[in-house]
Structure 1
């Protein structure tokens, strides 16, 4: 069977979050981060960044976590190619209901199981939002052909997770970062599915099968078009009393200026500006030492938070992590 590459025809389209903390999320997403908030329903809340009807879907539930990633595909040929890969691998494919598609602002979706119990949803056509955008981020957000940002995931099986995104979306390795935090050595792999520097980052503890993060994702990222909107969001997060995880700084690899706030559900939310794009004709992966050129200093982590991370890490040693091996293969060896 001839395999057609789908690289460049995929972008992160939306994120689904399960939470019971709607009032806190309303203040966080609309008032602090500056996104457009649709008129919320009793069990559903939707945020927009642009003309798409939905970029973040919150559904009421106990998880306090991201539960699904929605991937926008260029056309139905790409859709069918990825679907064929999943079906030929024997992976169960679930057709989304009309109600699920409507909540996500898409015409049709299918769902694949993903690593770390993070569902992967595929769609082609997003629906445009009808209401006029009302956002504190006056310059808007960087989306379009690049998608809406990235997700960072911690894993005990990083090579299998990289294999999954490579086999499903033809993701390419952009670079690595080696970092030591509180004495724990981490390796982070950055994967791209289009010219955005990365849409998925995979972090792992070196030489130890543990995961110190409770949630399926460590952080979500969105990118503003204007520097003033990033610094204004930073001020609003602090003024409204939300926890700042990392202050403003600049990354070593994608050169993005950003900060990290803690969401009401516990994972982190990065707001960034001016990340570089990848030139496929010249790019070569390399390893960077440390996540930051400057800044990104911890601001909100207490001793209790650190103890919780140690506890989660210890518990994870005994927990199984499903890499969806049928699509991950044996994993991608690091170069």
Structure 2
């Protein structure tokens, strides 16, 4: 599938007021106008797209959906044909849902773990329109997608890898230096980063662990780091550099219990053409000062969409 990367992410959140403050004042997100029919949610921008993050009212903090961007209409149609050939069950989004997401067309489907995904094309945008919530140099998104997401799964199966590699068409990048079974994957058209999505095995647990966001300069990383420390926000890992990527980053926890990794590129990433097997996760820094799995990782019963359980039942 000709997928660019993650176009948007949607969440259910228990404290939207905390996000209204934290998003602009800590992360530098821009506020986005709510679409018609959804006045109670919070929408954020990080570039000229209409929105990249949506936080909807909910009784539990959880990832609600991942929106993948197909290159265009023909690539989208080819993807639908591929799903039909593989027998993947999907739902075509109606006009109201497409307008809420700000896209031309979309479908919704579940991965074998039970996370809900969407595939779309034609996301609304306005050139040179992004205004950050605070002084900020901007985010690296647009043609590379908004960043990456790491999920925890109660089961890590061959069915999951088949779905990601053979159906979604993602490249397998490796398992990294972490302990346990983990898989890093990147979309077909991604030539900018090592992964768009990763799944870690956490028996009896499920949820979003962190989101990686690329900022325009190391200064943006440092200023965000200072704000996090000034506000005494809980941190997962201090500043450091991973072994597999030429980036500087740190991790801290958000109002919904998952972490943001704020990332600055030291040099552009390139496809090395082989599977790396790093002996250490980071070459310097990244001292672990908080839990690796935050409160966003819960039991599957708490975070799975009930519609997935009905399909499996």
Structure 1 residue aligned with 2:269: 277
Q: Secondary structure at the match of 1:272?
A: strand
* 1:35–1:137 CA contact under 8 A, matched in 2: no
* 2:86–2:167 CA contact under 8 A, matched in 1: no
Q: Aligned partners of 1:320 and 1:200: how far apart in 2?
A: 18
Give yes or no for the alignment of 1:173 onto 2:184: no
Distance 1:99 1:321, change over 3 A: closer
Q: Deviations over 1:314-333 (max 9, x none)?
A: x77xx9999x9xxxxxxxxx
Distance 1:146 1:243, change over 3 A: same
Distance 1:132 1:188, change over 3 A: closer
In the TM superposition, residue 54 of structure 1 has moved relative to its aligned partner by 0.8
Q: Deviations over 1:88-142 (max 9, x none)?
A: 2332221223332223222221111123321111111010159652343522111
* 2:140–2:146 CA contact under 8 A, matched in 1: yes
Q: Secondary structure at the match of 1:145?
A: helix
* 1:174–1:285 CA contact under 8 A, matched in 2: yes
* 1:175–1:253 CA contact under 8 A, matched in 2: no
* 1:178–1:187 CA contact under 8 A, matched in 2: no
Q: Secondary structure at the match of 2:68?
A: strand
Alignment of 1:281-300 (within 5 A): 282-300=272-290
Q: Secondary structure at the match of 2:177?
A: strand
Structure 2 residue aligned with 1:71: 68
Structure 2 residue aligned with 1:252: 243
* 2:132–2:138 CA contact under 8 A, matched in 1: no
* 2:156–2:200 CA contact under 8 A, matched in 1: no
Q: Secondary structure at the match of 2:233?
A: coil
Structure 2 residue aligned with 1:43: 40
* 1:154–1:211 CA contact under 8 A, matched in 2: no
In the TM superposition, residue 152 of structure 1 has moved relative to its aligned partner by 0.7
Give yes or no for the alignment of 1:31 onto 2:22: no
Alignment of 1:112-261 (within 5 A): 112-129=109-126, 132-136=130-134, 138-155=136-153, 156-179=155-178, 185-193=179-187, 194-195=190-191, 196-204=193-201, 210-212=203-205, 214-215=206-207, 217-261=208-252
Alignment of 1:309-328 (within 5 A): none
* 1:54–1:129 CA contact under 8 A, matched in 2: no
Q: Aligned partners of 1:168 and 1:90: how far apart in 2?
A: 10
Distance 1:278 1:211, change over 3 A: farther
Distance 1:138 1:91, change over 3 A: same
User: How many pairs were matched up?
Assistant: 296
> What residue ranges of structure 1 are gaps of 5+ in the alignment?
1-5, 180-184, 325-335
Q: Secondary structure at the match of 2:44?
A: strand
Q: Secondary structure at the match of 1:174?
A: strand
> What residue ranges of structure 2 are gaps of 5+ in the alignment?
309-313
Q: Aligned partners of 1:158 and 1:26: how far apart in 2?
A: 38
* 1:158–1:204 CA contact under 8 A, matched in 2: no
* 1:230–1:273 CA contact under 8 A, matched in 2: yes
Report the RMSD for the aligned CA atoms in angstroms: 2.9
Q: Aligned partners of 1:220 and 1:191: how far apart in 2?
A: 14
Q: Deviations over 1:60-105 (max 9, x none)?
A: 1123011111011111221112111222233222122333222322
Give yes or no for the alignment of 1:62 onto 2:55: no
Q: Aligned partners of 1:80 and 1:101: how far apart in 2?
A: 16
Q: Secondary structure at the match of 1:109?
A: strand
In the TM superposition, residue 171 of structure 1 has moved relative to its aligned partner by 0.8
